[in-house]
Amino acid sequence: MAQPRVALWAAEADDMDDDLQDMSLGNYGQNGHYDDTFFQQPQIDEATLMAMQQHMAQQAAFAQIPDVVKGFIVHFHQAVLENNLPEITIAYESGWNKYTEKFYSRTEWPEAEIIAPLVNDDPIFLILYRELYYRHVYSRLQPNIDDRFHSYENSCELFNYLLNSEGPVKLELPEQWLWDIIDEFIYQFQVFCTWRSKVKSKTDDELLMLAEGGPVWSSYSVLNVLYSLIQKSKINEYIAAHQAGKTPEEIAEIVGEYGVRPLYRHLGYFSIIGLLRVHVLLGDFTLALKVMENVELNQKSPYTRVTACTVATYYYVGFCYIMLRRYPDAIRTFVSILNWIMRMRQYHTRSYQYDQISKTADRMYALFAICNALSPSRLDDNIANISKERYGEQFAKMAKGQEDAIPAFKELFLYACPKFINANAPPYDDPVALNTLLQSSPDTSSPDFDSSALSDPAQRHLSLLLSDVVAYTPVPTLRSFLKLYTSLGAKKLANFLDADEEEMVQQLMVMKQASRSVTHVPGGKGLLDGQTASTSDLNFVIDENMVHIAESTVGRRYAGWFIKNTERTQKLYDDLKNQPLPPPSKSAGHGANGAGAPVAPVQTDVKPVRTGQPKVAWGGVKVGA
């Protein structure tokens, strides 16, 4: 019997299985470990690795942003794109502060690079966002050196966009935001100069960055920005044309394509106020008032809608008058703005800048007390009384004019004066000079250390004021004696003063000089214009050995007294009128119900009502005769 035929695939099955096993296994796990020497590993440079890590960090930070904040940023960006001023104003004044208090009161807002996807990487909005971001860092947190440098770079980008674009930019922002941009720009400059002047507190990295920083926050760059905005907007020409009564068409032809746009016109005006502030910080008070030559100080200006700008203007103008020894003009300036603040107080409480306005007003009350001590005046008794309430002890010491007055003047001046700055930076780019400066600096921790020994600009301006104060020290005592007489012998007056006649004559001359000052005249052009006039109600002449005194008594301002008391009475009347009526008495309620309840007998021994008594509109029981 023939044997069955074996299929070819069956006959070679064992050999094929061995071959397949060898093919499937190959050399894996049998001929040693995997050799990677023949393959080149992919190289990732440090910059790419850092970019990847930064991208991952940004994604993580973006995920932590609350959804309401994301929605607010998208809405804010859309309002800026559409130049929708009402929506921009609400987002800027309300929304930003609302979410700051809720989420970022003690931390930074998300950086611009993190929120960039929400605004489609819009460069203009990101510049504006960084302006708000760094303002928040300066006001709520402690900026480091990177924040100080980057805030300057962002400000340069913003002003380059506004000044160097081809034609006027198509951007509209609220007046309040435009003022805050200029105000914050100068504030950051002031803070940087103060921080830069403290050499001993710097680390090695900070010293290196300051040495290589170049013109970062230099006085020249800040002044250049402000003057460029004034020239580009032609704001001085606009103010002059408006005061001359030109038509809108004529004004548009004068100021050109930039000046007709509200953005540039407002920035130009706010830059004038910014220059006033910068020149005061640098100590040039004459140039500060010269810049304001075309600006009129009155509450009818359209720019008074920005309250913080108006208050700052009057504060710095008044301080300039103090340093120029024009105390009556300073008093008039402070009285005007302080009365205006009191009238507008109900509106200030709704402003997010209420605290700043209140602090500035408090400093002006202190400056008013200084001026009133050096040049007594009864321009406004109400402001004087408020100043006495706040600074009663210092007010009394300064009025007496004795040795105790010097510390009082010093205390109020250092509290109320601006934060002056040094225009020149320490020599960070010269290590030898910097080491010499560090070695020559006194030890501030020593108990014998006197801050006036340093080149502190505030101390320099204080010494100028105190030189006048020391000279005017005998004036209050001499004035009190002269007010008692119409004529007085020179020898008798010298005995009162415990001085010889020659010294007494010198004191009289000091008093005469103190009673004369340059005063602004109505209708004069510019804040620097004025005429020398007597500012005291007490005058005297020396005739041989007699001193003849003439006092011009200023009558009481009855109109102001009646207006003040009329307003007070009107307020009392409104408060009484708004009070609810008293509930009806129980006895009256029972009688009205008619339930048969006994009614208390009416007393007949009622005292007769006097004629002339005020009638009560409610709350009383009318008794018949």
Full DSSP string of 278-306: HHHHHT-HHHHHHHTTT----TTSGGGGS
Under 8 Å between Cβ of 552 and 543: no
CA distances to 451, 506, 573, 607 from 615, rounded to whole Å, are 66, 64, 13, 16
pLDDT of residue 42: 53
Tens of pLDDT, residue by residue over 227-264, are 999 999 999 999 989 888 888 899 899 988 999 999 99
- Residue 376: the pLDDT is 81
Burial class (CB in 10 A: 0-12, 13-18, 19+), 163: middle
Cα–Cα distance, 198 to 548 (Å, whole number): 56
Rounded (10°) angle between helices 219-233 and 175-196: 160
CA distance 467 to 473: 10
Q: For the chain, what is the total number of helices (H) and then of strands (E)?
A: 30, 5
> What residue ranges in 67-182 does DSSP mark as E strands?
none
The answer to whether the CB of 271 falls within 8 A of the CB of 162 is no
Measured in whole angstroms, the distance separating CA 174 from the mean position of its chain's CA atoms is: 18
Predicted pLDDT at 346: 66
What is the Cα–Cα distance from 365 to 370, expressed in whole angstroms?
9
Identify the helix (H) or strand (E) that includes residue 603.
Answer: none
Residues 6+ apart with CB under 8 A from 142: none
Task: Indicate the SS3 state at residue 3.
Answer: coil
Q: What's the CA gap between 13 and 16, in Å, rounded?
A: 5
| Helix %, strand %, coil % of the chain (to 5) | 65, 5, 35
Q: How far apart are CA 34 and CA 366, in angstroms?
A: 85
pLDDT at 35: 52
Q: What is d(CA 288, CA 569) in angstroms, rounded to the nearest whole number?
A: 43
What is the rounded distance in angstroms from the CA atom of residue 446 to the CA atom of residue 449?
5
Q: How many CB atoms lie within 10 A of CB 244?
A: 10
User: Among 394, 390, 320, 324, which residue's Cα sits nearest to residue 362?
Assistant: 390
Q: Which amino acid is at 356?
A: Q
Strand pairing category for 516-519 and 531-534 = antiparallel
Largest CA-CA distance found in the chain, in angstroms, rounded: 174
The kind and range of the H/E element at 592 are: helix 586-593
**Spatial separation of the C-alpha atoms in residues 40 and 328, rounded to whole Å:** 85
Which tokens belong to 224?
A: 């250049």
How far apart CA 581 and CA 538 sit, in angstroms, is 56
Averages of pLDDT over each 10 residues, the chain, 625 residues = 44 47 45 49 64 73 89 94 93 92 92 91 94 94 92 95 91 93 95 89 84 85 95 92 88 90 94 95 94 82 82 95 92 92 71 82 94 82 87 86 84 94 81 75 46 67 88 79 82 81 82 79 77 76 81 62 80 84 63 45 45 42 41
